[in-house]
Structure 1
Amino acid sequence: MKERNETDPDRRTIERIRAGDTSEFRMIVEKYKDMSLSLISSYIIDEQEAEDVLQDAFIKTFNHIHQFRFDSLFSTWLYRIVVNTCLRNKERDRAGLFEELSEIEFTHSYEITGIDLLEQNERNAYISLAFKMMKSEEALLLRLFYLCELSIAEIHQVTAYSEANIKVILHRARKSMYEILVKLTGNDLKI
Protein backbone atom coordinates (compact mmCIF):
# COMPACT_ATOMS: atom_id res chain seq x y z
CA MET A 1 0.00 0.00 0.00
CA LYS A 2 1.36 3.39 -0.95
CA GLU A 3 1.86 5.73 1.98
CA ARG A 4 -0.65 8.53 1.63
CA ASN A 5 0.91 11.35 3.60
CA GLU A 6 4.17 12.23 1.90
CA THR A 7 4.15 15.81 3.25
CA ASP A 8 4.07 15.12 6.99
CA PRO A 9 6.40 17.71 8.57
CA ASP A 10 7.65 15.06 11.01
CA ARG A 11 8.35 12.43 8.37
CA ARG A 12 12.14 12.82 8.26
CA THR A 13 12.45 12.85 12.03
CA ILE A 14 10.36 9.69 12.28
CA GLU A 15 12.38 7.99 9.55
CA ARG A 16 15.62 8.81 11.43
CA ILE A 17 14.15 7.40 14.64
CA ARG A 18 13.10 4.24 12.82
CA ALA A 19 16.59 3.97 11.33
CA GLY A 20 18.02 3.80 14.85
CA ASP A 21 18.72 7.43 15.78
CA THR A 22 16.57 7.32 18.89
CA SER A 23 18.00 10.62 20.12
CA GLU A 24 15.79 12.29 17.48
CA PHE A 25 12.75 11.42 19.58
CA ARG A 26 13.59 14.35 21.86
CA MET A 27 12.62 16.63 18.96
CA ILE A 28 9.18 15.03 18.90
CA VAL A 29 8.84 15.43 22.67
CA GLU A 30 9.90 19.08 22.56
CA LYS A 31 7.57 19.86 19.68
CA TYR A 32 4.45 18.22 21.11
CA LYS A 33 4.80 18.17 24.90
CA ASP A 34 3.02 21.46 25.63
CA MET A 35 0.00 20.76 23.43
CA SER A 36 -0.19 17.15 24.64
CA LEU A 37 -0.14 18.31 28.25
CA SER A 38 -2.91 20.79 27.44
CA LEU A 39 -5.03 17.96 26.02
CA ILE A 40 -4.41 15.86 29.11
CA SER A 41 -5.41 18.83 31.24
CA SER A 42 -8.89 18.52 29.76
CA TYR A 43 -9.33 15.57 32.09
CA ILE A 44 -6.73 15.64 34.83
CA ILE A 45 -6.38 18.43 37.38
CA ASP A 46 -3.38 17.13 39.30
CA GLU A 47 -0.24 18.49 37.65
CA GLN A 48 1.98 15.56 38.67
CA GLU A 49 -0.58 13.03 37.47
CA ALA A 50 -0.94 14.90 34.17
CA GLU A 51 2.83 14.83 33.68
CA ASP A 52 2.88 11.10 34.46
CA VAL A 53 0.21 10.50 31.82
CA LEU A 54 2.18 12.64 29.38
CA GLN A 55 5.32 10.59 30.01
CA ASP A 56 3.36 7.36 29.60
CA ALA A 57 1.92 8.62 26.29
CA PHE A 58 5.37 9.50 24.95
CA ILE A 59 6.74 6.12 26.01
CA LYS A 60 3.89 4.42 24.14
CA THR A 61 4.54 6.62 21.13
CA PHE A 62 8.24 5.75 21.12
CA ASN A 63 7.57 2.03 21.58
CA HIS A 64 5.06 1.96 18.70
CA ILE A 65 6.59 4.48 16.30
CA HIS A 66 7.41 1.67 13.86
CA GLN A 67 3.67 1.01 13.56
CA PHE A 68 2.89 4.53 12.34
CA ARG A 69 1.95 4.25 8.65
CA PHE A 70 1.69 7.94 7.59
CA ASP A 71 -1.99 7.43 6.79
CA SER A 72 -2.54 10.64 8.73
CA LEU A 73 -0.30 13.35 10.10
CA PHE A 74 2.00 12.11 12.84
CA SER A 75 0.54 14.75 15.18
CA THR A 76 -2.93 13.25 14.73
CA TRP A 77 -1.62 9.78 15.54
CA LEU A 78 0.26 11.12 18.58
CA TYR A 79 -2.77 13.02 19.90
CA ARG A 80 -4.80 9.81 19.59
CA ILE A 81 -2.26 8.05 21.81
CA VAL A 82 -2.31 10.96 24.27
CA VAL A 83 -6.13 10.98 24.48
CA ASN A 84 -6.34 7.19 24.81
CA THR A 85 -3.67 7.15 27.52
CA CYS A 86 -5.52 9.88 29.35
CA LEU A 87 -8.86 8.09 29.07
CA ARG A 88 -7.36 4.81 30.30
CA ASN A 89 -5.88 6.66 33.26
CA LYS A 90 -9.27 8.26 33.91
CA GLU A 91 -10.95 4.87 33.90
CA ARG A 92 -8.43 3.60 36.46
CA ASP A 93 -8.95 6.54 38.77
CA ARG A 94 -12.38 8.09 38.26
CA ALA A 95 -12.42 10.02 41.54
CA GLY A 96 -11.08 13.56 41.45
CA LEU A 97 -10.45 13.85 37.72
CA PHE A 98 -11.32 17.36 36.59
CA GLU A 99 -9.62 19.91 34.44
CA GLU A 100 -6.47 21.76 35.30
CA LEU A 101 -5.84 25.36 34.38
CA SER A 102 -3.68 25.34 31.31
CA GLU A 103 -1.45 28.06 30.03
CA ILE A 104 -2.34 29.13 26.52
CA GLU A 105 0.47 30.74 24.65
CA PHE A 106 -0.43 33.66 22.42
CA THR A 107 2.24 34.75 20.00
CA HIS A 108 2.50 38.29 18.73
CA SER A 109 4.53 39.72 15.93
CA TYR A 110 5.11 42.91 17.89
CA GLU A 111 6.94 43.72 21.07
CA ILE A 112 4.77 43.12 24.10
CA THR A 113 4.50 46.02 26.56
CA GLY A 114 3.73 45.64 30.25
CA ILE A 115 0.07 46.55 29.68
CA ASP A 116 -0.15 44.07 26.80
CA LEU A 117 1.34 41.38 29.01
CA LEU A 118 -1.17 42.09 31.79
CA GLU A 119 -4.07 41.97 29.33
CA GLN A 120 -2.73 38.76 27.82
CA ASN A 121 -2.32 37.18 31.26
CA GLU A 122 -5.84 38.23 32.25
CA ARG A 123 -7.24 36.82 28.99
CA ASN A 124 -5.29 33.58 29.51
CA ALA A 125 -6.59 33.29 33.07
CA TYR A 126 -10.21 33.70 31.94
CA ILE A 127 -9.80 31.18 29.13
CA SER A 128 -8.05 28.70 31.42
CA LEU A 129 -10.78 29.06 34.04
CA ALA A 130 -13.45 28.64 31.37
CA PHE A 131 -11.76 25.41 30.20
CA LYS A 132 -11.77 24.22 33.80
CA MET A 133 -15.50 24.89 34.13
CA MET A 134 -16.48 23.17 30.87
CA LYS A 135 -17.36 19.53 30.34
CA SER A 136 -14.16 17.61 29.69
CA GLU A 137 -15.17 16.39 26.20
CA GLU A 138 -16.07 19.94 25.17
CA ALA A 139 -12.77 21.30 26.46
CA LEU A 140 -10.87 18.52 24.70
CA LEU A 141 -12.52 19.14 21.34
CA LEU A 142 -11.99 22.91 21.57
CA ARG A 143 -8.30 22.32 22.32
CA LEU A 144 -7.96 19.85 19.44
CA PHE A 145 -9.75 22.16 16.98
CA TYR A 146 -8.35 25.55 17.97
CA LEU A 147 -5.07 24.91 19.74
CA CYS A 148 -3.90 21.81 17.85
CA GLU A 149 -5.54 23.12 14.67
CA LEU A 150 -6.90 19.70 13.73
CA SER A 151 -9.65 19.35 11.15
CA ILE A 152 -12.95 17.61 11.95
CA ALA A 153 -11.66 14.50 10.15
CA GLU A 154 -8.45 14.52 12.18
CA ILE A 155 -10.39 14.97 15.43
CA HIS A 156 -12.44 11.93 14.38
CA GLN A 157 -9.17 9.97 14.07
CA VAL A 158 -8.05 11.15 17.52
CA THR A 159 -11.31 10.66 19.41
CA ALA A 160 -13.26 8.11 17.30
CA TYR A 161 -16.34 10.35 17.66
CA SER A 162 -18.39 10.61 14.49
CA GLU A 163 -17.83 13.77 12.47
CA ALA A 164 -21.44 14.81 13.06
CA ASN A 165 -21.00 14.34 16.81
CA ILE A 166 -17.78 16.38 16.74
CA LYS A 167 -19.59 19.25 15.03
CA VAL A 168 -22.39 19.13 17.60
CA ILE A 169 -19.98 19.01 20.54
CA LEU A 170 -17.89 21.84 19.08
CA HIS A 171 -21.03 23.95 18.64
CA ARG A 172 -22.06 23.28 22.25
CA ALA A 173 -18.49 23.88 23.43
CA ARG A 174 -18.26 27.28 21.70
CA LYS A 175 -21.60 28.29 23.21
CA SER A 176 -20.53 27.02 26.63
CA MET A 177 -17.19 28.84 26.43
CA TYR A 178 -18.98 32.06 25.46
CA GLU A 179 -21.51 31.78 28.30
CA ILE A 180 -18.82 31.01 30.86
CA LEU A 181 -16.66 33.92 29.70
CA VAL A 182 -19.66 36.28 29.88
CA LYS A 183 -20.34 35.14 33.46
CA LEU A 184 -16.68 35.44 34.45
CA THR A 185 -16.10 38.86 32.92
CA GLY A 186 -19.56 40.33 33.37
CA ASN A 187 -19.36 41.56 29.77
CA ASP A 188 -21.25 40.57 26.66
CA LEU A 189 -18.46 39.55 24.33
CA LYS A 190 -18.41 40.92 20.80
CA ILE A 191 -17.61 38.13 18.38
Structure 2
Amino acid sequence: MATTVPDSALVQRAKEGDQQAFGDLVDRYKDPSLSLAVSILKDTALAQDVLQDAFMRVYHSIGGFREEAAFSSWLYRIVVNTSYNALKSARYLKKTETLQPGQVYGSTQPKPMKEEDQQKYVQLALDRLSADEALVLRLFYLHELQIPEIAHITRFGKPKIKVCLHRGRKNMMKKLEQLVGKEVKDLL
Protein backbone atom coordinates (compact mmCIF):
# COMPACT_ATOMS: atom_id res chain seq x y z
CA MET A 1 0.00 0.00 0.00
CA ALA A 2 1.51 3.29 -1.10
CA THR A 3 1.67 6.15 1.35
CA THR A 4 1.11 9.70 0.29
CA VAL A 5 3.97 12.06 0.98
CA PRO A 6 2.68 15.11 2.89
CA ASP A 7 2.67 18.46 1.11
CA SER A 8 5.09 19.88 3.69
CA ALA A 9 7.73 17.27 2.83
CA LEU A 10 7.32 17.85 -0.91
CA VAL A 11 7.49 21.63 -0.41
CA GLN A 12 10.67 21.30 1.64
CA ARG A 13 12.27 19.10 -1.02
CA ALA A 14 11.13 21.50 -3.78
CA LYS A 15 12.69 24.42 -1.87
CA GLU A 16 15.95 22.46 -1.89
CA GLY A 17 15.75 22.17 -5.69
CA ASP A 18 14.17 18.73 -6.04
CA GLN A 19 12.31 19.02 -9.35
CA GLN A 20 10.60 15.64 -8.88
CA ALA A 21 9.06 16.88 -5.63
CA PHE A 22 7.77 19.98 -7.40
CA GLY A 23 6.41 17.76 -10.18
CA ASP A 24 4.59 15.69 -7.56
CA LEU A 25 2.99 18.86 -6.17
CA VAL A 26 1.93 19.87 -9.67
CA ASP A 27 0.43 16.44 -10.31
CA ARG A 28 -1.41 16.57 -6.98
CA TYR A 29 -2.94 20.01 -7.55
CA LYS A 30 -3.25 20.45 -11.33
CA ASP A 31 -6.88 19.27 -11.60
CA PRO A 32 -8.34 21.33 -8.73
CA SER A 33 -6.28 24.33 -9.86
CA LEU A 34 -7.56 23.98 -13.41
CA SER A 35 -11.10 23.87 -12.06
CA LEU A 36 -10.54 27.19 -10.27
CA ALA A 37 -9.03 28.82 -13.35
CA VAL A 38 -11.91 27.62 -15.54
CA SER A 39 -14.43 29.04 -13.06
CA ILE A 40 -12.91 32.48 -13.59
CA LEU A 41 -11.94 32.36 -17.27
CA LYS A 42 -14.83 30.24 -18.57
CA ASP A 43 -12.56 28.61 -21.13
CA THR A 44 -10.61 25.40 -20.56
CA ALA A 45 -7.86 26.09 -23.12
CA LEU A 46 -7.19 29.56 -21.72
CA ALA A 47 -7.33 28.20 -18.19
CA GLN A 48 -4.66 25.62 -19.10
CA ASP A 49 -2.41 28.42 -20.39
CA VAL A 50 -2.99 30.46 -17.26
CA LEU A 51 -2.35 27.43 -15.08
CA GLN A 52 1.06 26.98 -16.71
CA ASP A 53 1.83 30.61 -15.86
CA ALA A 54 0.64 30.08 -12.29
CA PHE A 55 2.77 26.97 -11.79
CA MET A 56 5.80 28.83 -13.18
CA ARG A 57 5.18 31.57 -10.59
CA VAL A 58 4.93 28.94 -7.87
CA TYR A 59 8.15 27.30 -9.06
CA HIS A 60 10.05 30.59 -8.99
CA SER A 61 8.67 31.72 -5.64
CA ILE A 62 8.44 28.46 -3.65
CA GLY A 63 11.61 29.39 -1.80
CA GLY A 64 9.70 32.29 -0.25
CA PHE A 65 6.74 30.16 0.84
CA ARG A 66 6.69 30.51 4.63
CA GLU A 67 4.20 27.70 5.30
CA GLU A 68 1.96 29.95 7.43
CA ALA A 69 -0.99 28.51 5.50
CA ALA A 70 -1.48 25.22 3.70
CA PHE A 71 0.41 24.85 0.44
CA SER A 72 -2.90 24.34 -1.36
CA SER A 73 -4.22 27.69 -0.10
CA TRP A 74 -1.05 29.48 -1.20
CA LEU A 75 -1.16 27.77 -4.61
CA TYR A 76 -4.89 28.47 -5.11
CA ARG A 77 -4.27 32.14 -4.25
CA ILE A 78 -1.65 32.32 -7.03
CA VAL A 79 -3.99 30.53 -9.47
CA VAL A 80 -6.83 32.92 -8.63
CA ASN A 81 -4.62 36.01 -8.99
CA THR A 82 -3.14 34.79 -12.27
CA SER A 83 -6.61 33.98 -13.60
CA TYR A 84 -8.05 37.37 -12.69
CA ASN A 85 -5.01 39.09 -14.23
CA ALA A 86 -5.51 37.07 -17.42
CA LEU A 87 -9.19 37.94 -17.43
CA LYS A 88 -8.26 41.61 -17.49
CA SER A 89 -5.72 41.08 -20.25
CA ALA A 90 -6.98 41.68 -23.79
CA ARG A 91 -5.23 38.56 -25.08
CA TYR A 92 -7.54 36.34 -23.04
CA LEU A 93 -10.85 37.94 -24.00
CA LYS A 94 -13.24 35.60 -25.79
CA LYS A 95 -16.92 35.55 -26.64
CA THR A 96 -18.84 32.73 -25.03
CA GLU A 97 -21.65 30.74 -26.56
CA THR A 98 -25.09 31.93 -25.48
CA LEU A 99 -28.22 29.86 -25.13
CA GLN A 100 -31.80 31.01 -25.40
CA PRO A 101 -33.93 30.55 -22.28
CA GLY A 102 -35.28 27.01 -22.15
CA GLN A 103 -32.87 25.76 -24.83
CA VAL A 104 -31.14 22.57 -23.74
CA TYR A 105 -27.49 22.48 -24.73
CA GLY A 106 -26.89 19.92 -27.47
CA SER A 107 -30.31 18.27 -27.21
CA THR A 108 -33.90 18.82 -28.22
CA GLN A 109 -35.29 15.47 -26.99
CA PRO A 110 -35.83 14.75 -23.29
CA LYS A 111 -33.83 11.67 -22.29
CA PRO A 112 -32.87 10.11 -18.98
CA MET A 113 -29.86 12.07 -17.80
CA LYS A 114 -26.57 10.19 -17.45
CA GLU A 115 -23.98 11.14 -14.85
CA GLU A 116 -21.63 12.60 -17.48
CA ASP A 117 -24.53 14.70 -18.82
CA GLN A 118 -25.25 15.90 -15.30
CA GLN A 119 -21.63 16.93 -14.89
CA LYS A 120 -21.70 18.68 -18.27
CA TYR A 121 -24.76 20.73 -17.36
CA VAL A 122 -23.40 21.65 -13.96
CA GLN A 123 -20.17 22.78 -15.65
CA LEU A 124 -22.10 24.78 -18.26
CA ALA A 125 -24.14 26.44 -15.51
CA LEU A 126 -21.00 27.29 -13.56
CA ASP A 127 -19.48 28.75 -16.71
CA ARG A 128 -22.44 31.11 -17.02
CA LEU A 129 -22.15 32.48 -13.47
CA SER A 130 -20.08 35.52 -12.63
CA ALA A 131 -16.41 34.72 -12.00
CA ASP A 132 -16.73 35.52 -8.28
CA GLU A 133 -19.83 33.35 -7.79
CA ALA A 134 -18.38 30.41 -9.74
CA LEU A 135 -15.09 30.61 -7.87
CA VAL A 136 -16.70 30.72 -4.42
CA LEU A 137 -19.11 27.87 -5.26
CA ARG A 138 -16.24 25.71 -6.52
CA LEU A 139 -14.10 26.39 -3.47
CA PHE A 140 -16.98 25.76 -1.06
CA TYR A 141 -18.67 22.76 -2.66
CA LEU A 142 -16.09 21.07 -4.88
CA HIS A 143 -12.96 21.75 -2.82
CA GLU A 144 -14.92 21.60 0.47
CA LEU A 145 -13.18 24.66 1.92
CA GLN A 146 -14.61 26.70 4.77
CA ILE A 147 -15.34 30.43 4.55
CA PRO A 148 -12.10 31.50 6.35
CA GLU A 149 -10.03 29.45 3.89
CA ILE A 150 -11.95 30.92 0.95
CA ALA A 151 -11.33 34.40 2.35
CA HIS A 152 -7.60 33.67 2.51
CA ILE A 153 -7.50 32.40 -1.08
CA THR A 154 -9.73 35.02 -2.69
CA ARG A 155 -9.03 37.98 -0.40
CA PHE A 156 -12.80 38.52 -0.35
CA GLY A 157 -14.38 39.55 2.93
CA LYS A 158 -16.50 36.97 4.71
CA PRO A 159 -19.73 38.92 3.98
CA LYS A 160 -18.92 38.96 0.25
CA ILE A 161 -18.28 35.22 0.32
CA LYS A 162 -21.63 34.59 2.00
CA VAL A 163 -23.38 36.81 -0.56
CA CYS A 164 -21.59 35.03 -3.44
CA LEU A 165 -22.66 31.66 -2.01
CA HIS A 166 -26.26 32.78 -1.65
CA ARG A 167 -26.52 34.48 -5.04
CA GLY A 168 -24.42 31.79 -6.70
CA ARG A 169 -26.78 29.03 -5.54
CA LYS A 170 -29.83 30.98 -6.77
CA ASN A 171 -28.20 31.88 -10.09
CA MET A 172 -26.93 28.32 -10.52
CA MET A 173 -30.49 27.02 -10.21
CA LYS A 174 -31.70 29.57 -12.79
CA LYS A 175 -28.93 28.63 -15.22
CA LEU A 176 -29.64 24.93 -14.79
CA GLU A 177 -33.34 25.55 -15.43
CA GLN A 178 -32.43 27.45 -18.60
CA LEU A 179 -30.21 24.59 -19.75
CA VAL A 180 -32.35 21.57 -18.93
CA GLY A 181 -35.81 22.90 -18.06
CA LYS A 182 -37.82 20.61 -15.82
CA GLU A 183 -35.07 17.99 -15.87
CA VAL A 184 -33.23 20.13 -13.31
CA LYS A 185 -34.65 17.79 -10.66
CA ASP A 186 -32.53 15.00 -12.19
CA LEU A 187 -29.41 17.04 -11.50
CA LEU A 188 -30.07 17.55 -7.81
Give the TM-score of the pair, scaled to structure 1: 0.79
What is the distance in 2 between the residues matched to 1:97 and 1:83? 21
Structure 1 SS opposite 2:174: helix
**Residue in structure 2 matched with residue 178 of structure 1 by the alignment:** 173
- Equivalent residue runs for 1:64-83 within 5 Å: 64-83=61-80
- Shift, 1:20, TM fit: 2.5
What is the distance in 2 between the residues matched to 1:9 and 1:140? 26
What is the distance in 2 between the residues matched to 1:98 and 1:10? 37
1:166 aligns with one of 155, 158, 161: 161
- Shift, 1:95, TM fit: 3.3
What is the distance in 2 between the residues matched to 1:48 and 1:129? 15
Amino acid at match of 2:93: A
What is the distance in 1 between the residues matched to 2:95 and 2:45? 13
What is the distance in 2 between the residues matched to 1:25 and 1:144? 23
Give the length in aligned residue pairs.
167
What is the distance in 2 between the residues matched to 1:126 and 1:96? 21
**Residue in structure 1 matched with residue 185 of structure 2 by the alignment:** 189
8 Å Cα contact 1:42-1:98 kept in structure 2? no
8 Å Cα contact 1:57-1:81 kept in structure 2? yes
8 Å Cα contact 1:182-1:189 kept in structure 2? no
What is the distance in 2 between the residues matched to 1:47 and 1:17? 28
Deviations 1:94-129 (A, max 9, x none): 632769xxxxxxxxxxxxxxxx9x711111111011
1:136 aligns with one of 131, 135, 143: 131
**Residue in structure 1 matched with residue 59 of structure 2 by the alignment:** 62
- Shift, 1:46, TM fit: 4.1
RMSD: 2.4
In structure 1, list runs of 5 or more residues that go unmatched: 1-7, 100-115
Structure 2 SS opposite 1:71: coil
Deviations 1:3-49 (A, max 9, x none): xxxxx941011111112312211111111111111111123244432
Identity level (%)? 41
In structure 2, list runs of 5 or more residues that go unmatched: 98-111
Whether 1:156 and 2:151 are equivalent positions in the alignment is: yes
What is the distance in 2 between the residues matched to 1:95 and 1:57? 18
1:14 aligns with one of 11, 14, 18: 11
User: Please, which moves more after superposition, 14-23 or 89-98?
Assistant: 89-98
Give the TM-score of the pair, scaled to structure 2: 0.80
8 Å Cα contact 2:37-2:51 kept in structure 1? yes
What is the distance in 2 between the residues matched to 1:9 and 1:86? 27
